[in-house]
Chains A and B, each alone.
Chain A
Amino acid sequence: MNSKYRALSRTRSALVLLVAVAAIAGCSKKHASSSSSAPPLSGPTPTAQLTATPSSITAGDQVVLSWRTTDATSISIDGIGDVPSSGVRTVTPTTSTSYHLVARGDGGSADATARVTVNSAQMAVAVPQDSSASNMTADEQFKANVQDIFFDYDSYDVRPENQAALSKAAAYLATNTNIHVLIGGYCDERGSNEYNLTLGQSRANSVKQALVQAGIAADRLRVVSYGKEKPFCTESTEECWQQNRRAGFTIDR
């Protein structure tokens, strides 16, 4: 009886303690939320993603910065200033630059960096513009005019800023009617081999469709998905992932 009573009383004291703990917790929470001097971190932590495409250029060339954030209330890029929560901006850096994005929100902050390497324009200047075109091999001309198209993660929609590159490619193919093109669809390393092969297929299909709409005959355009089987680079960084999320072109011989 005595021991039973003791057990009971122990249970009771545990309950009392629980209630007390709950009460204290409730109290302190209320106190903290009413205090304006030290606002708590509430809400989800922001995320930030910034890419520069291409990541290596010759001085004078343009670079497309594209960024996405979530759960952020204020976003800025060093040297550019405040920007919307996601967007695209064309920049023309004259020296190698690291673009740094900071996203701040109720749940903290996140940042992302994209580096652009700017190579000296000396070599390009050394060769006169007009003769360079005629001296270029067919492959070089093709590469200069039909350039890779990059995609957002898990997306196969052609970005608006890629329309110019697609128009240039279509114009080149319209005047070089003997060239057939192999469009390869590529993905970053994340996700399954199988799903990425269908995603790469859809990316290549999207680009083919855009070229067909620009007047290129469909039978000149062949599509192959490489998924994540033939990556351009293998680092687990957003910069590398962006390089791999693309449709690439080669002359189909």
Chain B
Amino acid sequence: MIAFLRKLPRSLPWLLSLVTLVAISPTLRAQDWIRTGSNLTEQRIRIAAADFKPVGSDPQTPSLKSTFDATLYNDLTNAGIFDMVSKSMIPAVTPGSPQEISLPQWAADPANASFVAFGALSSTNGRLSVYGWVLDAKNPGSPQILGKQYNETANQDNARLIAHRFADEIIAKLGGGLNGIAETKLFFASSRTGSKEIWVMDYDGQNQHIVTKQGSISLSPRISPDNSRLAFSSLGKEGWTIRMFSMDLGRPVSFPAGIAGGSNLSPAWSGDGTKIAFSSSRSGDPEIWVCDSNGGNLRKLTSFRGPDVSPTWNPKTNSQIAWVSGRTGLPQIYTMDTDGANVQRLTDGGYAISPSWSPNGQFLAFSWNRKYGPGAPGGQDIYVMDIASKRWLQLTHDAGSNDFPSWSPDGRHLVFERAVGGHTEIWTMLADGTEQHQLTHSGKNFMPNWSWK
């Protein structure tokens, strides 16, 4: 016994490491499949984003440059594939062209950068001009990866826009050919004007503005894959109808198939933009219906007592739909073929809602309260499920009530709504649940939808 006690202190670290291993390894494994499937590489690319060199003496230049620098750094940080060299480790120089950069300075510690993004910015006679380069710091013999030139009217919006474009070029070049998301948009519902309307903002929360002016309750915005039309559901004299807003014309356009008796809710575009699925109770019970994007060929896919709502297409194949059904009681996630056959239940209980199908067809993101019931309000969190294996991973933990996940087109990000203490706001995160950022801060903002490009 004495010997046993004497050995205890020395054995403790062993025990601890054993316990830690057992506790951590399933989590690591769980996050592995989601990272692989969503192209979030395990090995991040070490990149330095230098502050751009201001050229000329135009008084506008400094503020445009600071917007551009901050936006570019933020876009690369958000991409989910870079290990950013922190600003404090960046050499205190601002090279404006490849002739002005000394690569060994960037490749060496502490920056230790594999790649350097840098360039020059000037505003002259109301025009904003940007030259941007990316060099391979570890290959000084032939370093150039990217060289780009931009020219737009000089204003803050364009300083952001050019930074987004340059970031997307860098991400496409270094991130395995997948396009970046810095130029994508987020549509969402907001009650900040008093009525619930559809709004739009840049992917990083900047540039928020109103789209619809129905003066009623408008919900469930879904942008078409080509960004030309916005489908949403709105409460009017005829009850809930599916409405269309032309982004090209800047006004509502007619969509007769969405107006019929009963509630018409939760529109969803197929990945090729040719079809729309939605929920309608025009025949009595709320069921999933499908029609062509012009409203033709309307047909009912489900026929089962209980609510059916929130369809989402497999955007890879366009031959499957996932949706929410209350046919067995609490709502669960199901999939079916687009002719209504081959119905499969994916969730094994609780309260599962709001599915979104990942761009590569592999995953469903959805909101799940696994312990829903009387006396147990529980947490409503965002989950991702690998459809083939039905493995799932919980992405949000102990932070309010989370709903309406929507995939970014690169499959690396999710946008969702989070309600904390009666305040509902829009958040984004990486597909493995890390790097959660709040994008909206005033009023009730909810039901986000990520544009397809």
Contact = CB atoms under 8 A, between A and B. Distances in A.
A70 B310 contact: no
Contacts of A28: none
Contact of B11 (A13, A48, A195): A13
A199 B326 contact: yes
Interface of B: 4, 7-8, 10-11, 14-15, 18, 196, 217, 219-220, 235, 239-240, 262-263, 265-266, 279, 281, 284-286, 306-310, 324, 326, 329-331, 351, 353-354, 367, 369, 372-377, 380, 403-404, 422, 446-447
B373 A70 contact: yes
Nearest to A86: B374
Interface in A8-26: 10-11, 13-14, 16-18, 20
B353 A195 contact: yes
Contacts of B369: 191
A154 B376 CA distance: 14
Contacts of A49: 374-375
Contacts of B239: 223-225
B170 to A, nearest CB: 37
B310 to A, nearest CB: 5
B10 A13 contact: yes
Contact of B18 (A13, A14, A190, A225): A14
B240 A225 contact: yes
A195 B239 CA distance: 16
A192 B286 contact: no
Interface string A203-239: 0010000000000000000011110010000101010
Contacts of B324: 192, 194-195
The 10 closest A-B pairs by CB, nearest first: A47-B375, A198-B307, A49-B374, A198-B286, A14-B14, A192-B353, A198-B309, A13-B7, A14-B11, A194-B266
B422 A191 contact: no
Contacts of A205: 281, 284-285
A213 to B, nearest CB: 14
A172 to B, nearest CB: 25
A201 interface: yes
Interface in A99-139: 110, 112
Contacts of A193: 219-220, 446-447
A49 B196 CA distance: 33
B442 to A, nearest CB: 19
A68 B329 CA distance: 16
A47 B373 contact: yes
B231 to A, nearest CB: 13
A154 B309 contact: no
A202 interface: yes
Interface in A168-189: none
Contacts of A234: 422
Contacts of B286: 198, 201-202
Given A14-B18, A201-B286, A225-B263, A194 B309 contact: yes
Given A110-B375, A191-B351, A198 B7 contact: no
A197 interface: yes
A154 B307 CA distance: 10
A201 B15 contact: no
A229 B196 contact: yes
Contacts of B380: 190-191
Contacts of A191: 331, 351, 353, 369, 380
Given A194-B220, A205-B284, A224-B240, 14 more contacts: A14-B14, A153-B374, A154-B326, A192-B354, A195-B307, A195-B310, A195-B324, A195-B331, A198-B263, A201-B286, A202-B286, A202-B306, A205-B285, A229-B235
A190 B404 CA distance: 13
Contacts of B326: 154, 195, 198-199, 202
A236 B324 CA distance: 24
Given A10-B11, A14-B18, A193-B219, A201 B377 contact: no
